[in-house]
Amino acid sequence: MYLKSLYLRQFRNYQECLVNFDAPKTILVGNNAQGKSNLLEAVELLSTLKSHRSRRDRDLVLEAAPIAQIRANLERVYGSVELSLTLRSQGKRTVALNREALRRQMDFLGILNAVQFSS
């Protein structure tokens, strides 16, 4: 499985951002407070539906915005998959697989496998 692209809208410090992962390996480099950890947190949320940095969805939504969206395109053995997570500053989050809303968030888990190391 490969993460091909990651789209963020009103997530943390990102108004709107599309990152394409074209190379076999990606290294994130930048000054402090530029959003490197936020990109990794977005991948973590798509994988586990949890953040290690915050328990409240409203903390993940850009200040003064009603919703945030995280979308990823994955290349898997059996084809391409699109994952989407919508976070609301007030209300329930929603998940979608290939643009179809899933009624149970549990059905979303396990599609994107990720491992995080932190020190």
Span 55-79, mean pLDDT? 95
Q: Is residue 114 part of a domain?
A: no
Residue 118 belongs to some domain of the structure: no
In a domain, 102, yes or no: yes
- Per cent of the chain over pLDDT 90 is 82
Domain count, the chain: 1
* CA pair distance 58, 12, nearest whole angstrom: 10
Mean pLDDT score of the chain:
94
Reported as a pLDDT band with limits 50, 70 and 90, residue 116 is confident
Asked, for residue 119, whether it belongs to a domain, the answer is no
Helices assigned H by DSSP within 8-109: 36-48
- Residue-level pLDDT at 66: 97
Q: Does residue 119 surpass a pLDDT of 80?
A: no
Looking up residue 81, the CATH number of its domain turns out to be: 3.40.50.300
CA distance 22 to 27: 12
In 1-119, where does DSSP find H-type helix? 36-48
Indicate whether 19 belongs to any domain. yes
Using DSSP's 3-state secondary structure scheme, residue 46 falls into: helix
| pLDDT higher than 80, residue 31 | yes
Name, in order, each residue with C-beta under 8 angstroms of 21's C-beta and a sequence gap of 6 or more.
Answer: 2, 3, 4, 5, 6
Does pTM surpass 0.85?
yes
Coil, strand or helix at 45: helix
Q: Does residue 15 form part of some domain?
A: yes
Residue-number span of the structural domain to which 53 is assigned: 2-108
- Which residue type sits at 118? S
